[in-house]
Amino acid sequence: MVLFNISDPSYPSLLLLCTISLLTIRALRNHISTNRMKKGCQPPPSVPQKDPFFGLDIIYGGFTETYEKQSRDTIARDLFSKYGHTFQSFTYGVAEIVTEAPEHVKAIYGTDFESFGVGPMRSFGLKHLADDGLMSTDGAVWKAHRSVLTPIFAQATNHQHMFEQHVARLLALIPEDGSTVDLQPLFDRLALDSSSEILFGESTLTLLPETLADAMKFLDAYNYSLQGVGMRMVLPFWDFLSRDPKFGSSCKDAQDFVDKILDKVMGTATSASEEQKYSVAYGLANLGQDRVKIRDELLGLFLPVHDAIATPLTNMFFNLARNPEAWTKL
């Protein structure tokens, strides 16, 4: 079987591309090795893998273990116990270093924060949904975004009555007969309603029986967009493997939803409702920021703001349900 026809006009170009790629990889590895030797660094232990290029055996094993143990934390603890506080693996052609060493964590998030970042990876993943925002930047640009957002968030989250009405709607959905209830989906809906009101000034109202059609379309589009964002972050060098027409249309639907909100808050002050005047969208609009930048900021922040509400509540009640003594004290 013939794999390549050397008489094909594209063959020399392909050969040149492969040669340049191999030389680039070799030069990069030599550069890393030289820097490592200068600083006295040792490579971390590597997770044994049968596939040295894509790590498909590790990826498949991770999915299998997650399904069996129902917890990524359990898998992480097992790996740390086997390979130490810091180890590396190669998945999808990219080296991944995992650490729980206190000094490393301290350096990454504190003392040497400027040397680390997520900008390039997140920017590639988010570029079709929310390219220019806090979640896809590092360094001085990240600090500038944060300095603008901090006082706006402080004002937007300082309205207890807003959160109270969403909690009241959640409580109304809990059975009064003492029957078992799954709180996680309710906490997700609470987080969606409150985070959308904090950011946009308009709640998605998923805790009410008559959820707005536009809100549901936005949530469906946003959730599908995040799947594509995640795929692009995992496969930064393999974009051709993550092409999906629905991803593009979902990003546009999510952006259109926020654009409609910005039509209201970027007009005259009287066109915005009282809820919108306390929102992050209104705060950014009052600063005269570019419309696309405001939209990117809001879409990028929607996930972490939602998770900041849903995840702690879910974890707290998960543990309280298994610790009756702590529940009784509360």
Q: Where are the domains of the chain?
A: 41-116, 134-329
Q: Which CATH class is domain 134-329?
A: mainly alpha
- CA 73 to CA 240: how far, in whole Å? 31
H helix or E strand, kind and range, residue 89: strand 86-91
Residue 4 has a pLDDT of 47
Residue 67 has a pLDDT of 46
Residue 17 has a pLDDT of 73
Residue 72 has a pLDDT of 60
Report the SS3 class of residue 84.
Answer: coil
Report the SS3 class of residue 298.
Answer: helix
- CA 311 to CA 307: how far, in whole Å? 5
Residue 2 has a pLDDT of 45
Q: What is the CA radius of gyration of the chain?
A: 24
pLDDT tens track, the chain, 330 positions: 444 455 555 556 667 777 776 777 677 666 666 666 666 777 888 888 877 767 777 766 655 555 455 556 677 778 888 888 998 887 776 778 888 899 988 888 778 877 887 777 777 778 888 887 888 788 777 888 888 888 888 887 777 778 899 999 999 999 888 888 899 889 988 998 999 888 988 888 889 887 777 888 888 899 899 888 888 877 766 566 667 889 999 999 999 999 988 887 776 555 666 667 778 888 888 888 888 889 999 998 988 888 888 889 988 998 888 888 988 888
Residue 150 has a pLDDT of 87
Rounded to whole angstroms, what are the CA distances from 74 to 261, 300, 305? Answer: 42, 29, 26
3-state secondary structure 93-128: CEEEEEECCHHHHHHHHHHCHHHCCCHHHHHHHHCC
The contacts of residue 234 (CB under 8 Å, 6+ apart) are: 92
206, two tokens: 């998923």
For residue 87, what are the β-bridge partners?
98
- What are phi and psi for residue 27, nearest 5 degrees? -65, -40
Which residue in the block uniquely carries the two structure tokens 């707290």? 316
